[in-house]
C-alpha cells in the first residue's frame, strides 16, 4: 500500500494491513517508546534502531496514516516512534495534512452511515419487488414467497435498528432518543 492509497483507505483496512504486516508485531513494543527514566543518549540510539526497522516495514504507509488519524505524537514531546517518525515529526505532518485528516476521520466514523443507507435501499427494493421478481426463477407458492419476503424485511429492519441504536449510544443520545 502506498501513502496515497492509505489516505483513501478506511480505518479497518489500514488496521488489517498493519495486523498482517507490522514488523514490530514480533518484537518488544517497548522499543518504540521512550522509558520514563531513559537518558536522551540511550533513547536516541534506540529511536534510530526503531526508525530503521520501520523503514523496511511493509505496513509503513498504513501505520503512518493511522497514527496521524489517531493524533499520535506531540510537537514538543520526543517519546515515541511510529511509522519511522518521531512524535514532533508526526505532529508537523498532522498540521500539514489537517484538512485531509479531518475528512478521513469523518469518513471512518461514517462507515455505519453508509451501511445504513445501503440497508435502507435494500429494504425499499425488497418491499416493492413484484411476486415474479421474488420467485427468482423457482416456482413457489405466493404465500411462501410472501412469508420469505416478510422475514427478510424484518431482518433488515432489525439490523437497521441495531445500527441506529449503536450510533445514538455512541453520540450519547441514549437508547430512547
Ligand atoms: S512502520 Fe514501524 S511502528 Fe509501524 S507497524 Fe511497521 S514497524 Fe511497527
Q: How far is the CA of 62 from the centre of ligand 1 (A)?
A: 9
The DSSP annotation for 16-41 comes to HHHHHH-GGGGS-GGGGB--TT--HH
Q: How far is the CA of 85 from the centre of ligand 1 (A)?
A: 10
Q: How far is the CA of 107 from the centre of ligand 1 (A)?
A: 24
Q: What is the pLDDT of residue 175?
A: 47
- pLDDT tens digits in sequence order for the chain, 177 residues long: 899 999 988 888 899 899 999 999 989 888 999 999 999 999 999 999 999 999 999 999 999 999 999 999 999 999 999 999 999 999 999 999 999 999 999 888 777 677 777 778 777 777 776 656 555 555 677 788 778 778 888 888 888 888 778 767 765 665 443
The DSSP annotation for 59-126 comes to THHHHHHHHHHHT--BTTB--BEETTEEHHHHHHHHHHTHHHHHHHHHHHHTHHHHHHHHHHHHHHHH
Q: What is the pLDDT of residue 100?
A: 93
Report the atom number in ligand 1 closest to the C-alpha of 22: 5
For the Cβ of 53 lying below 6 angstroms from any atom of ligand 1, the answer is yes
Q: Where are the domains of the chain?
A: 3-104, 111-170
State in Å, rounded, how far the first CA of the chain is from the last one.
41
For the Cβ of 67 lying below 6 angstroms from any atom of ligand 1, the answer is no
For the Cβ of 51 lying below 6 angstroms from any atom of ligand 1, the answer is no
Q: What is the pLDDT of residue 136?
A: 56
Q: What is the pLDDT of residue 1?
A: 85
Prediction pTM value: 0.66
For the Cβ of 85 lying below 6 angstroms from any atom of ligand 1, the answer is no
Q: What is the pLDDT of residue 24?
A: 93
Q: What is the pLDDT of residue 93?
A: 97
Amino acid at each position: 500500500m502506498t501513502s496515497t492509497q492509505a489516505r483513501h483507505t478506511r480505518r479497518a483496512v489500514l488496521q488489517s494491513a498493519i495486523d498482517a504486516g507490522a514488523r514490530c508485531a514480533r518484537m518488544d513494543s517497548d522499543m518504540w517508546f521512550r522509558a520514563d527514566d531513559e537518558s536522551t543518549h540511550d533513547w536516541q540510539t534506540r529511536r534510530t534502531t526503531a526508525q530503521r526497522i520501520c523503514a523496511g516495514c511493509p505496513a509503513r504507509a498504513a501505520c503512518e496514516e493511522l497514527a496521524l488519524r489517531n493524533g499520535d505524537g506531540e510537537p514538543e514531546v520526543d517519546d515515541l516512534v511510529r511509522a519511522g517518525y518521531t512524535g514532533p515529526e508526526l505532529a508537523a505532518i498532522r498540521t500539514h495534512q489537517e484538512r485531509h485528516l479531518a475528512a478521513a476521520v469523518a469518513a471512518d466514523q461514517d462507515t455505519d452511515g453508509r451501511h445504513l443507507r445501503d440497508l435502507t435501499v435494500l429494504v425499499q427494493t425488497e418491499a416493492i419487488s413484484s411476486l415474479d421478481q421474488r420467485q427468482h426463477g423457482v416456482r413457489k407458492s405466493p404465500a411462501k414467497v410472501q412469508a420469505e419476503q416478510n422475514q427478510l424485511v424484518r431482518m433488515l429492519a432489525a439490523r437497521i435498528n441495531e445500527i441506529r441504536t449503536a450510533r445514538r449510544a455512541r453520540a450519547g443520545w441514549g437508547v430512547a432518543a
